[in-house]
C-alpha cells in the first residue's frame, strides 16, 4: 500500500493525511514531500525549454503586415548550369526590365542578383505585386499571352538545373524596399522558424530593427505565405564585406541588441546567409 501513495498528487496526499494516521510512517511523508518538490523542479526546468504559445484570434499575416492590402512579394531562386551563367544573366537583363517598366503589368522588379557567397551559380529575383494576390493573378495571366516572355522562359529552361519560389509578405516595421544607387553588396539572411513562433519573432524584431538602421543597411524584411512556411528573409545592403563586419559588430554596442539575439535564437530551426551581387538590371544596386 505504501507504493500506491507514490502515485498520488499532492492534493490527494493532503486529503488522505487528514483521515489517516501517518505518524508511524515518517519516511513515507518525507518521500512524498521530496517527490512533490522534484516535480515542481522538473516543471520549472522544462519551462526553460518549452515555450508556451498564447492562443491567437487572427492569422499572423494580418497581425504582422501593414494592412490588408499589403504588397505581395515573390522571391525566385534559380540554380543555373555553371557554363550557362553569363548567357542566363544576359537573357534576364534583356527581358526583366521590359516587364518592370511596362505599366500594363501591376508588378515591379525589386532586385535581381547573383549569389557570390552561399549557393554558387545561383540567381535570386524579387518581384513586388501591388494589390496582392489579384495583381499576381493578373500578371501571370497577361504574361502567358506575351510571346516574348514565353520565349524567354523556354530559353531560360535550357540553362537551369532547378528553381523554386516563395510568396512573401513584408513585416510592418520594415521599410518598403526602394531602388538604391551602388555599388553595394547584399546579404539575404533566411531563417526557418519553429512553427507557432512568427508573432514572437515579429515582436522582438519590431524593437530590434532600430539597432540596425544607423548605416541604412536595412532593405526589407519578409515572411513566407506560400512555399517553405514559417520562413523569414531579411535583406541588407553594405558597401563591402568590411563594412558588413563593422556594421554588425556595432550593433552589439547598443543596449538591448544582445537581448534580442538571446530570445530569438531559440525560435530558429535553421538559418543561412547569401552574399549577393546585383545584376546590371537590378533597381537595387
Question: Quick one: 266 and 195 in the same domain?
Answer: yes
- Whether 53 is covered by a domain: the verdict is no
Question: Quick one: 39 and 70 in the same domain?
Answer: no
Separation between Cα atoms, residue 220 and residue 222, nearest integer Å: 7
Domain count, the chain: 2
Q: Which of 273, 111, 277, 132 is nearest to 192 (CA)?
A: 273
- Whether 284 is covered by a domain: the verdict is no
Separation between Cα atoms, residue 277 and residue 271, nearest integer Å: 20
Is residue 234 pLDDT above 50, yes or no? yes
Question: Quick one: 133 and 228 in the same domain?
Answer: yes
CA distances from residue 248 to 117, 242, 257 in whole angstroms, order as listed: 17, 10, 11
| Beta bridge partners of residue 125, listed in sequence order | 76, 112
Question: Quick one: 191 and 122 in the same domain?
Answer: yes
Question: Quick one: 268 and 127 in the same domain?
Answer: yes
Question: Quick one: 101 and 14 in the same domain?
Answer: no
Question: Quick one: 155 and 219 in the same domain?
Answer: yes
Question: Quick one: 17 and 148 in the same domain?
Answer: no
Question: Quick one: 37 and 84 in the same domain?
Answer: no
Separation between Cα atoms, residue 70 and residue 65, nearest integer Å: 7
Is residue 13 pLDDT above 80, yes or no? no
The band of 7, judged by pLDDT with boundaries at 50, 70 and 90, is very low
Question: Quick one: 218 and 174 in the same domain?
Answer: yes
Q: What is the mean pLDDT of residues 120-142?
A: 96
User: Domain containing 112 — which CATH number?
Assistant: 3.30.70.100
- Whether 250 is covered by a domain: the verdict is yes
Q: What is the mean pLDDT of residues 97-106?
A: 94
CA distances from residue 36 to 12, 29, 47 in whole angstroms, order as listed: 12, 11, 17
Q: Which residue has the higher pLDDT, 81 or 51?
A: 81
Separation between Cα atoms, residue 222 and residue 283, nearest integer Å: 18
- Whether 123 is covered by a domain: the verdict is yes
User: In the prediction, which pLDDT does 66 show?
Assistant: 61
Helix locations, 74-184, DSSP H: 85-101, 133-143, 147-157
Parent domain of 12: 2-47
- Whether 22 is covered by a domain: the verdict is yes
Q: What is the pTM of this model?
A: 0.76
CA 64 to chain centre: 12
- Whether 70 is covered by a domain: the verdict is yes
Calculate the dihedral angle through the C-alpha atoms of 236, 238, 242, 245, rounding to the nearest 10 degrees.
Answer: -30
Is residue 53 pLDDT above 50, yes or no? no
3-state secondary structure of 249: helix
pLDDT tens for each residue of 158-168: 999 999 999 99
Question: Quick one: 79 and 187 in the same domain?
Answer: yes
User: In the prediction, which pLDDT does 193 show?
Assistant: 97
Question: Quick one: 137 and 194 in the same domain?
Answer: yes
Separation between Cα atoms, residue 57 and residue 61, nearest integer Å: 12
Mark 75-114 as b/e (b = at least 16 C-beta within 10 Å): bebbbbeeebbeebbebbeebbbebbeeeebebbbbbbbb
DSSP-derived letter for residue 102 is: -
The answer for residues whose C-beta is within 8 angstroms of residue 255's C-beta and 6 or more apart is: none
- Whether 285 is covered by a domain: the verdict is no
pLDDT over 90, % of the chain: 65
- Are 241 and 275 spatial neighbours (Cβ–Cβ below 8 Å)? yes
User: In the prediction, which pLDDT does 1 show?
Assistant: 45
Is residue 74 pLDDT above 50, yes or no? yes
Q: What is the mean pLDDT of residues 217-241?
A: 95
- Whether 20 is covered by a domain: the verdict is yes
Amino acid at each position: 500500500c505504501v507504493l500506491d501513495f507514490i502515485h498520488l498528487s499532492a492534493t490527494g496526499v493532503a486529503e488522505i493525511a487528514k483521515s489517516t494516521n501517518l505518524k508511524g510512517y515518517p519516511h513515507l511523508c518525507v518521500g512524498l514531500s521530496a517527490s512533490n518538490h522534484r516535480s515542481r523542479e522538473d516543471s520549472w526546468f522544462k519551462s526553460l525549454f518549452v515555450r508556451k504559445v498564447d492562443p491567437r484570434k487572427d492569422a499572423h499575416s494580418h497581425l504582422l503586415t501593414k494592412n490588408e492590402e499589403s504588397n505581395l512579394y515573390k522571391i525566385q531562386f534559380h540554380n543555373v548550369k555553371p557554363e550557362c551563367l553569363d548567357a542566363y544573366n544576359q537573357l534576364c537583363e534583356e527581358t526583366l526590365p521590359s516587364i518592370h517598366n511596362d505599366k500594363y503589368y501591376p508588378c515591379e522588379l525589386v532586385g535581381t542578383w547573383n549569389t557570390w557567397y552561399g549557393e554558387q551559380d545561383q540567381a535570386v529575383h524579387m518581384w513586388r505585386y501591388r494589390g496582392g494576390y489579384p495583381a499576381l493573378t493578373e500578371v501571370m495571366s497577361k504574361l502567358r499571352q506575351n510571346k516574348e516572355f514565353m520565349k524567354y522562359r523556354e530559353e531560360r529552361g535550357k540553362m537551369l538545373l532547378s528553381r523554386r519560389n516563395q510568396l512573401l509578405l513584408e513585416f510592418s516595421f520594415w521599410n518598403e524596399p526602394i531602388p538604391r544607387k551602388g555599388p553595394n553588396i547584399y546579404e539575404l539572411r533566411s531563417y526557418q522558424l519553429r512553427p507557432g513562433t512568427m508573432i514572437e519573432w515579429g515582436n522582438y524584431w519590431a524593437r530590434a530593427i532600430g539597432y540596425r538602421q544607423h548605416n541604412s543597411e536595412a532593405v526589407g524584411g519578409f515572411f513566407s505565405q506560400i512555399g517553405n512556411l514559417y520562413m523569414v528573409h531579411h535583406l541588407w545592403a553594405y558597401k563591402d564585406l568590411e563594412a558588413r563586419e563593422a556594421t554588425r559588430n556595432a550593433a552589439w554596442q547598443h543596449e538591448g541588441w544582445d537581448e534580442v539575439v538571446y530570445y530569438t535564437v531559440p525560435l530558429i530551426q535553421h538559418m543561412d546567409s547569401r552574399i549577393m551581387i546585383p545584376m546590371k538590371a537590378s533597381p537595387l544596386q
